[in-house]
C-alpha cells in the first residue's frame, strides 16, 4: 500500500510539474498557443555517435506537411466582414479599426491560398532534408534507393518536392522516385470507419467537449475592446465566433511570415485556454485518449507495418537509401503514439489533465517528423535510433546502447503490436 501511495504521489507531482511547464512554455512563446499551427522550431539535430563499427545505411521517415495558410478563405473573410460591418456602422473602437486595417493588409497574400503550403513551409522541409543529408551522408549515394511518397493533398506533395530538392542540392547525382497517389493512402493516411464515427460531429465525446469549450471561451473582454457599441454586438456579432476567428488568424501569422501580429489583442490566459480546446480535440481524435480504446493509435498500424516491412527489405537486400513519407498531423500524432515515442502515448481521462499529458505543438508542429536511422556493422548486425522532430528520443524497448536499439528487439516489439509475432 505504501508503494502504491508513493507511486500515485509521484505521478501527481509529475503531472503538476508538466502542467506548470506547459503553461510557462506557452506564455513565453505565444506561437505555441497555435498548437498544430506552431511553425517548426529551428533546431540543431541531436546526433549521438554510433557504437564503434556501425555505419548508417537507411532512414525511414514520416513528415507532416510544412507551414500552411488557414484551410479556407472563409476563415479570413468572415472576420474581415464582421469588423467591416461594424466599422461602416461606426461601432469600432480605435483598436478595432487598427485590427481591421491589419486584416486588410494580410488578405491580399492569403486570398485564394486556403490550405496551401506557404514559402516557409517549403523552406522547412528543404532545411530538414539538408540536415538529414549532412548528419548521415553515408545513406545518400548515387546508388542509394530513395523513395518519396505523399498523400494526395497538394501541400503534402509540395512538401515532398521541397524535401527532395533539399537532398539533391546536397548531391545532384541522387536519384529519388516521387509519388503522390491513392495507391499509398491505405497506410499514409488511414482512418478506420470506427474512428471516423467516433470523431464525427455526433461522436460520444462531443457534448463533454462542448461544455469544456464553452467554459474556456471568454470573448466579452476581447470583443468589447474592438466594438464599442453593446447594442451592435447584441444584434450583429457572435462574440465566440469572432474570438475564435481572430485566434486562428493570430496563430497562423507565424506561418505566413507576415509582419502583422494579433497577439496583442489577447490576454495570455485567453490564448492558453483557447489552445487547451484545440489540444483537447487533437488528443481525443488522434492520440491515446483513455476512452477511445486505442482506436486512434490503431489508425497508424498500417503505416507501422509498412515501416517494418520496408526496413526488412532494405536489410535483407543489403540496400542503402531512404523511405520518405509525407502526410498530416492526424497521421503523425497516432504514429508517434503507436511507435511508443517518449511522451507521445500518455493516456488520461479527465479533460482538465489533457494538456498535462499531451501537447500538440510538441508532437506535430508544422513539418513535424519522425526519423528512424538504421546502422549496420561489418558482421551484419543492425541497430536503429529514433528521432522526433530531429531530436533523439526513446521507445519502451530495453536497450544497452541508448539512444540506439537492437533492430531485432524493436522489430519483435512492433510485430507484437501488429499481432504478427
With CA atoms as reference, report the closest residue to 266 among 279, 284, 253: 253
Q: What is the pLDDT of residue 20?
A: 62
- What are the tens digits of pLDDT across the range 327-385? 999 999 999 999 999 999 999 999 999 999 999 999 999 999 999 999 999 999 999 99
69, 253 Cβ separation under 8 angstroms: no
C-alpha cell at 395: 521507445
Mean pLDDT of 44-52: 87
Rg (alpha carbons) of the chain, rounded to whole number: 23
Q: How long a stretch of residues is the chain?
A: 421
Quick check: 11 pLDDT over 60?
A: no
CA distance 148 to 159: 11
295, 249 Cβ separation under 8 angstroms: no
Domains of the chain: 32-69+118-197+293-417 (3.40.50.1240), 74-115+205-286 (no CATH)
* DSSP letter string, 91-133: -B-HHHHHHHHHHHHHHHHHTT-TTPBPHHHHHHHHHHHHHHH
Quick check: 7 pLDDT over 60?
A: no
Q: What is the pLDDT of residue 10?
A: 43
Q: What is the pLDDT of residue 16?
A: 54
Partner residues linked to 8 by β-bridges:
none
Burial of 130 (0-12, 13-18, 19+ CB in 10 A): middle
Mean pLDDT of 285-295: 92
Quick check: 76 pLDDT over 50?
A: yes
CA distance 31 to 39: 8
C-alpha cell at 180: 503522390
- What are the tens digits of pLDDT across the range 106-119? 999 999 999 999 99
Quick one: how far is CA 416 from the chain centroid? Answer: 26
Q: What angle do CA 255, 256, 259 make, to 5 degrees?
A: 115
CA distance 403 to 75: 43
Average pLDDT, the chain: 94
Question: 43 pLDDT band (50/70/90 cuts)?
Answer: confident
Q: What is the pLDDT of residue 42?
A: 80
CA distance 188 to 162: 18
Q: What is the pLDDT of residue 57?
A: 98
Quick check: 309 pLDDT over 80?
A: yes
- What are the tens digits of pLDDT across the range 376-399? 999 999 999 999 999 999 999 999
Specify the higher pLDDT residue, 11 or 57.
57
Quick check: 1 pLDDT over 70?
A: no
- What are the tens digits of pLDDT across the range 196-247? 999 999 999 999 999 999 999 999 999 999 999 999 999 999 999 999 999 9
CA distance 39 to 207: 31
Q: Is the pTM of this model over 0.95?
A: no
For residues 78, 82, 83 and 88, what is the CA-based torsion angle, rounded to 10 degrees?
Answer: 130
Cis peptide bond upstream of 281, omega within 30: no
On the CB side of 265, CA atoms within 13 Å amount to: 30
- What are the tens digits of pLDDT across the range 123-162? 999 999 999 999 999 999 999 999 999 999 999 999 999 9
The widest CA-to-CA distance across the chain, in whole angstroms, is: 79
Amino acid at each position: 500500500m505504501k508503494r502504491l501511495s508513493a507511486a500515485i504521489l509521484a505521478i501527481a507531482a509529475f503531472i503538476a510539474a508538466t502542467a506548470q511547464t506547459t503553461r510557462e512554455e506557452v506564455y513565453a512563446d505565444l506561437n505555441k498557443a497555435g498548437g498544430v499551427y506552431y511553425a517548426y522550431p529551428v533546431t540543431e539535430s541531436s546526433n549521438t555517435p554510433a557504437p564503434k563499427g556501425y555505419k548508417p545505411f537507411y532512414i525511414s521517415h514520416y513528415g507532416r506537411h510544412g507551414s500552411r495558410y488557414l484551410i479556407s478563405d472563409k476563415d479570413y473573410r468572415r472576420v474581415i466582414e464582421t469588423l467591416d460591418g461594424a466599422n461602416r456602422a461606426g461601432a469600432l473602437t480605435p483598436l478595432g479599426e487598427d485590427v481591421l486595417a491589419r486584416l486588410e493588409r494580410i488578405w491580399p497574400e492569403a486570398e485564394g491560398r486556403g490550405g496551401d503550403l506557404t514559402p516557409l513551409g517549403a523552406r522547412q522541409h528543404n532545411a530538414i532534408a539538408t540536415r538529414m543529408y549532412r548528419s548521415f551522408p553515408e545513406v545518400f549515394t548515387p546508388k542509394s534507393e530513395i523513395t518519396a511518397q505523399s498523400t494526395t493533398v497538394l501541400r503534402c506533395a509540395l512538401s515532398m518536392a521541397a524535401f527532395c530538392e533539399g537532398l539533391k542540392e546536397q548531391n545532384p547525382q541522387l536519384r529519388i522516385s516521387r509519388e503522390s497517389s491513392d495507391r499509398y493512402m491505405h497506410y499514409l493516411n488511414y482512418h478506420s470507419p470506427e474512428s471516423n464515427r467516433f470523431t464525427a460531429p455526433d461522436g460520444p465525446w462531443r457534448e463533454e467537449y462542448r461544455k469544456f469549450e464553452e467554459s474556456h471561451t471568454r470573448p466579452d473582454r476581447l470583443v468589447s475592446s474592438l466594438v464599442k457599441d453593446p447594442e451592435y454586438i447584441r444584434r450583429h456579432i457572435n462574440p465566440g465566433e469572432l474570438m475564435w476567428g481572430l485566434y486562428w488568424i493570430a496563430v497562423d501569422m507565424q506561418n505566413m511570415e507576415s509582419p502583422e501580429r494579433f497577439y496583442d489583442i489577447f490576454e495570455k490566459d485567453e490564448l492558453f485556454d483557447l489552445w487547451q480546446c484545440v489540444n483537447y480535440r487533437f488528443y481525443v481524435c488522434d492520440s491515446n485518449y483513455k476512452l477511445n480504446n486505442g482506436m486512434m493509435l490503431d489508425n497508424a498500424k498500417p503505416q507501422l507495418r509498412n515501416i517494418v516491412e520496408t526496413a526488412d527489405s532494405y536489410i535483407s537486400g543489403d540496400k542503402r537509401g531512404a523511405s520518405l513519407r509525407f502526410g498530416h498531423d492526424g497521421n503523425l500524432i497516432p504514429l508517434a503514439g503507436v511507435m511508443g515515442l517518449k511522451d507521445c502515448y500518455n493516456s488520461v481521462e479527465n479533460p482538465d489533465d489533457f494538456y498535462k499529458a499531451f501537447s500538440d505543438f510538441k508532437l506535430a508542429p508544422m513539418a513535424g517528423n519522425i526519423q528512424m536511422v538504421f546502422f549496420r556493422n561489418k558482421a551484419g548486425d543492425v541497430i536503429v535510433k529514433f528521432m522526433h522532430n530531429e531530436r533523439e528520443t526513446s521507445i519502451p524497448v530495453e536497450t544497452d546502447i541508448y539512444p540506439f536499439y537492437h533492430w531485432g528487439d524493436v522489430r519483435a516489439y512492433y510485430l507484437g503490436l501488429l499481432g504478427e509475432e
